[in-house]
Amino acid sequence: MRATLLYQAGDVRVEDVADPKIQQPTDALVRIVVGCVCGSDLWPYKSAPYAEHPRQMGHEFIGVVEETGPEVRNVKPGDLVVAPFTYADNTCEYCRRGLHTSCVHGGQWGVNGVDGGQGEATRVPYADGTLVKLPVAEDSDLLPDLLTLSDVMCTGYHAALTAGVKPAESVTVIGDGAVGLCAVIASKLLGAERIVLMGRHTARTDLGREFGATDVVAGRGQDGVEAVKELTGGFGTDRVLECVGLKDALVQSIAVVTHGGTISRVGAPQYPEVPFGFMEFLRNLTLTGGVAPARAYIEKLMPYILTGEIHPGRVFDRTVPLAEVAEAYRLMNDREALKVIVRP
Amino acid sequence: MRATLLYQAGDVRVEDVADPKIQQPTDALVRIVVGCVCGSDLWPYKSAPYAEHPRQMGHEFIGVVEETGPEVRNVKPGDLVVAPFTYADNTCEYCRRGLHTSCVHGGQWGVNGVDGGQGEATRVPYADGTLVKLPVAEDSDLLPDLLTLSDVMCTGYHAALTAGVKPAESVTVIGDGAVGLCAVIASKLLGAERIVLMGRHTARTDLGREFGATDVVAGRGQDGVEAVKELTGGFGTDRVLECVGLKDALVQSIAVVTHGGTISRVGAPQYPEVPFGFMEFLRNLTLTGGVAPARAYIEKLMPYILTGEIHPGRVFDRTVPLAEVAEAYRLMNDREALKVIVRP
């Protein structure tokens, strides 16, 4: 089958790889219908050294079950399913706590004999735990919305939920990428009254306003901080959702959150230490968040999509065939596209 | 009047200072009945440079109201009262949220024309907001217990509460000082099933067991971490209450908390940055806590003391007269005493 391989920074190729096969009785084989490129795929795209055995890319997909191992009970051939961005057994101590990213049997797509999501098919470990059946057909217009349940919508929701966003509160969302925009949707779902979106790309922040942002702050650094302070009577917002992953964004988060407030970070941290010293202690700031256990949220968020209450699939502004996946990476890396669907 | 002054590291003196007077209509004058020395007093005691105008020390006290300004309504001369370790108006936006340490009119004892708690008397700003009347006489045996409401019992409670300790959960308390021991009491109040106290001073950890610790780990570093892991089936505890303030203690906290767990720190951080990078992100760890808004907890915790359900005053193992306060500092700094009451 054809799959996406990253050889090194800037070098994405579609090549033949071995067809996936059932290896464990809990496996399923899934033919991928739609996949996409993630902001986190851009970190290795920017910086990875040359790999002789390149990694299969992609960790978000919707597909059709083609075959199941003898112990798989919850899905069957022909089912349309969505997968979270890590697989999980959904039964271990961590999964029972809703922390599927820490599953004792869990793992990542694209490594250790498991295929990636930017290809024609994949073996799915722990299919009963990992896959969630979708109640639509494979040609449904809702597929882009449902595809966001693999990652970005669940990640935005994780940010808002762990931050403790409650009705009537104020929230700052830092970052106007797909996760930041989904964090706006999630903040609105949880009842936030004021949602300040910090971002500089007008097309994206305009979409953010449609998603529920009440204010947009394009300024960065001290200008941005002062703008948020001015909007909030000098206090800053109750919650800050940090959807970037850079230290500057975290420093900004600390500056715009109120005393006693919470910062949730869902952008993978590109820094080893956090400036949470004596001043942050005096202000009683909380730092939470982390890699989103998407699997824990898929069933919860799906109804909002099926009823049309939310449309997170609007973060996709391009679609490319699998053969042109390298162009999808380029478009996103050059910020010409927000998020790109890849169709095998 | 006589008051405690810190001239420089190791140099504590009792000297005459100006008698306090009502300055604002919201002030009260309080004659101090009992004060005490705090672990946080030991930071300047260890390291302060020489000060020509030394600071009055002490921020924990019970006293009798002697005089009130014309706008004071909640306390009157003759009332026995306890003060939290910062004063606050109890009416501002932050106080209404229970964050009295961020009060817009609040401040610290011993600076800016306000006296300290290790002396004969003090002016109390915002007396209505700051002081809480005690329903006992000044010779009550409960005074040591009630004195802990100024700081250590409320600080231990802040740790457990912000960490989110819930019934049946497991907690590690790092530090066997007065705050750590009060954090054990608080964890038990909140229903924790397993309370692991990490500390190396047997007399203190023995008291911790009486307060509710189910396990004591004397090991430090990797030994201590492995001991906690072994007690918890390899997972670590759900919550960690960091009651020291040193970076080593925070690193230990990160090592003994489970995935998805919460670390609350209430020891004043002696470090500018926290090692919360990518691995802690993958583990979905939360860092919370901060300086405890003691005022928010005094009325809530007092009934447990009045009914005898908790005895946090047992952390006091010495009492000295004011004239010998320097000896109290020495005893605590040399770890010959856990916490010392000072009686003017």
**Percent of chain A with pLDDT strictly greater than 90:** 98
CATH number of the domain to which A82 belongs = 3.90.180.10
Does the CB of B159 have a partner CB in chain A at under 8 Å? no
Write out pLDDT tens, residues B122-131. Answer: 999 999 999 9
pLDDT of residue B53: 87
* Site from B158, B166, B250, B276 to mutate, A interface, most A CB atoms within 10 angstroms: B276
Q: Are residues A32 and A83 in the same domain?
A: yes
Rounded to a whole number of angstroms, the distance between the first and last alpha carbons of chain A is 10
pLDDT of residue B52: 86
pLDDT confidence bin for A52, thresholds 50/70/90 = confident
Tell me the mean pLDDT in the region A38-55.
Answer: 92
**Which token pair is B260?**
């998805």
Chain B closest CA to A56's CA: distance in Å? Answer: 21
Chain A closest CA to B234's CA: distance in Å? Answer: 12
Instruction: Look up residue A252 and give its DSSP letter.
Output: H
What is the Cα–Cα distance from B165 to B188, expressed in whole angstroms?
Answer: 9
In degrees and rounded to multiples of 5, residue B72 shows phi and psi of -80, 130
> In B201-226, which positions are buried (b, 16+ CB within 10 angstroms) versus exposed (e)?
eeebbebbeebbbbbbbeeeeeebbe
CATH number of the domain to which A264 belongs = 3.40.50.720
Does the CB of A180 have a partner CB in chain B at under 8 Å? no
Does the CB of A203 have a partner CB in chain B at under 8 Å? no
Q: Are residues A119 and A13 in the same domain?
A: yes
Write out pLDDT tens, residues A189-203. Answer: 999 999 999 999 999
Strand A61-68, strand A28-36: pairing = antiparallel
CB contact under 8 A, B277 and A273: yes
Q: Are residues A144 and A266 in the same domain?
A: no
Chain A closest CA to B344's CA: distance in Å? Answer: 30
Q: Are residues A116 and A172 in the same domain?
A: no
Whether the predicted pLDDT of A319 surpasses 90: yes
Q: Are residues B209 and B336 in the same domain?
A: no
Residue in B closest to A273 by C-alpha: B275
Q: Are residues B104 and B221 in the same domain?
A: no
CB contact under 8 A, B282 and A94: no
CB contact under 8 A, B235 and A291: no
pLDDT-wise least confident of A49-58, A80-89, A118-127, B7-16: A49-58
Q: Are residues A109 and A202 in the same domain?
A: no
Residue in A closest to B261 by C-alpha: A288
Closest CA to B328 of B339, B312, B344: B339
Whether the predicted pLDDT of B236 surpasses 90: yes
The radius of gyration of chain B's CA atoms, rounded to the nearest angstrom, is: 20
Q: Are residues A265 and A299 in the same domain?
A: no
Write out pLDDT tens, residues B137-166. Answer: 999 999 999 999 999 999 999 999 999 999
CB contact under 8 A, A276 and B273: yes
Cβ-Cβ contacts under 8 Å, A259 against chain B: 94, 99, 102
Q: Are residues A259 and A336 in the same domain?
A: no
Does the CB of A287 have a partner CB in chain B at under 8 Å? yes
Does the CB of A269 have a partner CB in chain B at under 8 Å? yes
Whether the predicted pLDDT of B220 surpasses 90: no
Q: Are residues A45 and A133 in the same domain?
A: yes
pLDDT of residue A53: 87
Does the CB of B283 have a partner CB in chain A at under 8 Å? yes
How much is the pTM?
Answer: 0.96
Nearest to B273 among A162, A259, A274 (CB): A274
Whether the predicted pLDDT of A297 surpasses 90: yes
Closest CA to B285 of A86, A99, A149, A103: A99
**A111, exposed or middle or buried, with CB in 10 Å at 0-12, 13-18, 19+?**
exposed
Chain B closest CA to A236's CA: distance in Å? Answer: 12
Write out pLDDT tens, residues A115-140. Answer: 999 999 999 999 999 999 999 999 99
What is the Cα–Cα distance from B215 to B234, expressed in whole angstroms?
Answer: 16
Does the CB of B272 have a partner CB in chain A at under 8 Å? yes
Does the CB of A168 have a partner CB in chain B at under 8 Å? no
Whether the predicted pLDDT of B51 surpasses 90: no
Whether the predicted pLDDT of A220 surpasses 90: no
Query: Cβ contacts of residue B52 below 8 Å, gap of 6+?
Result: none
Query: Cβ contacts of residue B127 below 8 Å, gap of 6+?
Result: B26, B27, B28, B65, B68, B69, B72, B74, B75
Write out pLDDT tens, residues B170-199. Answer: 999 999 999 999 999 999 999 999 999 999
What is the Cα–Cα distance from A65 to A26, expressed in whole angstroms?
Answer: 13
Chain A closest CA to B206's CA: distance in Å? Answer: 30
In chain A, how many domains are there? 2
Write out pLDDT tens, residues A138-186. Answer: 999 999 999 999 999 999 999 999 999 999 999 999 999 999 999 999 9
CB contact under 8 A, B268 and A281: yes
Whether the predicted pLDDT of B306 surpasses 90: yes
Cβ-Cβ contacts under 8 Å, B273 against chain A: 273-277
Does the CB of A43 have a partner CB in chain B at under 8 Å? no
Does the CB of A337 have a partner CB in chain B at under 8 Å? no
**Which token pair is A15?**
């090549």
**Percent of chain A with pLDDT strictly greater than 70:** 100
Tell me the mean pLDDT in the region B293-322.
Answer: 98
Tokens 């040609």 sit on residue: A139
What is the Cα–Cα distance from B90 to A212, expressed in whole angstroms?
Answer: 35
Nearest to B281 among A260, A269, A283 (CB): A269
CB contact under 8 A, B102 and A283: yes
| Cβ contacts from A onto B, under 8 A | 109
Nearest to A277 among B235, B260, B271 (CB): B271
* Site from A99, A238, A276, A280 to mutate, B interface, most B CB atoms within 10 angstroms: A276
CB contact under 8 A, B273 and A273: yes
Does the CB of A296 have a partner CB in chain B at under 8 Å? no
Q: What is the mean pLDDT of chain B?
A: 97
ipTM: 0.96
User: Residue B60's domain spans which residues?
Assistant: 2-151+294-343
Q: Are residues A94 and A179 in the same domain?
A: no
CB contact under 8 A, B281 and A272: no
Q: What is the mean pLDDT of chain A?
A: 97
Does the CB of B290 have a partner CB in chain A at under 8 Å? yes
Q: B195 forms bridges with which residues in the sheet?
A: B171
Q: Are residues A104 and A11 in the same domain?
A: yes
Instruction: Look up residue A115 and give its DSSP letter.
Output: -
Query: Cβ contacts of residue A135 below 8 Å, gap of 6+?
Result: A306
Cβ-Cβ contacts under 8 Å, A283 against chain B: 102, 290
Cβ-Cβ contacts under 8 Å, B281 against chain A: 265, 268-269, 289-291
CB contact under 8 A, A291 and B282: yes
Nearest to B278 among A260, A268, A289 (CB): A268
Write out pLDDT tens, residues B265-286. Answer: 999 999 999 999 999 999 999 9
